[in-house]
Chain A
Amino acid sequence: MIERFEDVIIQTLCRFLVPFMQLFALYVIAHGHHSPGGGFQGGCILGASFILLCIAYDIKEAKRRMTEKLNVTFCCLGVIIFGGIGVVCLILGANYLDYGILHKLLPVNIPEARSLGILGIEIGVGFAVMAAMVSIFLNLASGGEHEEALE
């Protein structure tokens, strides 16, 4: 068993680090078109920022910022965004996940519509991966009780 203790240096450092991690995660998700990255990588970084909060503070503090309900909602929302974009393409008369047809809805030409479709599903993947990382970590680390980690 590991004794829990409050360390001012670690907690302050993490408090400063977390916003920059989240900003970087959003950059990785949004910049997947031009550089290595995308939904999976960005979602992992975003989830890691919440896991860092769990480790530096405790699970209660992390759950105060990201409640369990919100977490599961994000997880489902990610998959729904992904599947929903596919269904929108289907309704507009193209194949499932054929984003080119989105140019009927948006004021762009076909290649740019496909680019925007890619961005949309990257955002969905990012949400789902972030929520999955956090929920798997919380449940495994605390034995499902969400009281204290690493007990």
Chain B
Amino acid sequence: MKFVAFIAVVMTGALLIYGTIDMPDWADPHAPAALHVSPMYIEKAAEETATPNMVTAVLADYRGYDTLGETTVIFTAAIVCIMLLRRPRK
């Protein structure tokens, strides 16, 4: 059974590595993300959101849904910590 699991893990890993071959090179200026999304953020973030700090504009406005997920992760960590560890002394 362990052998089957090992084969499954290796095959999944190989599949994932095969999937990364198609990805654009690291810091490739002609990657799809660098052609459309990044110039749009750089050119329009300041005037569209009235926020000089581009990082904040992308983090909280354009990618706000992602930040909501991060906040939920932190919230879950705190709640789980209380649920697992909290034990009032009798």
Contacts and interface: CB of A to CB of B under 8 A. Distances in A.
Chain A contact patch, size range:
35 or more
B60 A145 contact: no
B53 A33 contact: yes
Interface residues of B, number: 33
Contacts, number: 104
Given A34-B53, A35-B53, A129 B74 contact: yes
B36 to A, nearest CB: 19
| SS class, residues of chain B in contact with chain A | helix
A91 interface: no
Interface string A121-151: 1101100110110011001100111110000
Interface of B: 47-53, 55-57, 59-61, 64-65, 67-68, 70-72, 74-75, 77-79, 81-82, 84-89
